Amino acid sequence: MISDNKESNAVLRQFTILRLLKAGAPIDDVIDVIRKLYIADKEDWDEEYVKNEVYGYQETQLQEGSPGKKSIRNEVEEWLTSNISNNPLYKNFTCSLQLCYLDLGLKTPSEKASCRMAFKRLVDRGKLEPLQNRSGMYKYIDGYEEVIDFENANIAPYDVRLPLGIHEWVTIHRGNIIVVAGESNAGKTAFCLNVAKLNRDAQKVNYMSSEMNDGAELRIRLDEFGNSMDFWRLIKFTFRTDDFPQHIKPDELNIIDYLDEGTDAEAYRMPMRIRLIADRLKTGIAVIAIQKDPNKGLGFGGSGTLNRSRLYITLSQGIMKIVKGKIWRQKTINPNGLYTNFKLIAGCKFLKDGDWRQ
Query: Half-sphere exposure of 355 toward its Cβ, with a 13 Å CA cutoff?
Result: 2
pLDDT, tens digit, 9 for 90 and up, residues 171-181: 999 999 999 99
The pLDDT of residue 265 is 55
Report the candidate in 255, 291, 261 with the shortest Cα–Cα distance to residue 273. Answer: 261
Higher-pLDDT residue of 161, 73: 161
Domains by residue range for the chain, with CATH: 2-64 (no CATH), 72-140 (1.10.10), 163-352 (3.40.50.300)
The pLDDT of residue 90 is 45
pLDDT, tens digit, 9 for 90 and up, residues 93-116: 678 888 888 888 888 776 787 788
One DSSP character per residue, 147-185 reads ----TT---SPP----GGGGGGTB---TT-EEEEEE-TT
The pLDDT of residue 264 is 58
Section 151-166 average pLDDT = 93
E strand spans, 98-248: 128-130, 137-140, 177-182, 205-209, 236-239
The pLDDT of residue 62 is 55
Higher-pLDDT residue of 153, 223: 223
Kindly report whether the global pTM for this prediction surpasses the value 0.75.
Answer: no
Please tell me the total number of residues recorded for the chain in this structure.
358
The pLDDT of residue 294 is 92
The pLDDT of residue 304 is 84
Q: Any idea what DSSP says for residue 135?
A: T
pLDDT, tens digit, 9 for 90 and up, residues 67-89: 445 677 778 888 877 665 555 44
pLDDT, tens digit, 9 for 90 and up, residues 17-59: 878 887 888 888 888 998 899 888 887 777 877 887 787 676 6
The pLDDT of residue 84 is 59
The pLDDT of residue 143 is 55
Q: Is the pLDDT of residue 15 over 90?
A: no
Q: Is the pLDDT of residue 244 over 70?
A: yes
In whole angstroms, what is the distance from residue 337 CA to residue 357 CA?
A: 8
Q: Is the pLDDT of residue 204 over 60?
A: yes
Paired residues of 343 in beta bridges: 351
pLDDT, tens digit, 9 for 90 and up, residues 269-327: 788 889 889 988 999 999 999 999 999 999 988 888 898 899 999 999 899 999 999 99
Check: CB of residue 114 under 8 Å from CB of residue 53: no
Residue 170: other Cβ atoms inside 10 A: 25
pLDDT band at 156 (very low <50, low <70, confident <90, very high): very high
Q: Is the pLDDT of residue 1 over 60?
A: no
Q: Is the pLDDT of residue 256 over 90?
A: yes
pLDDT band at 2 (very low <50, low <70, confident <90, very high): very low
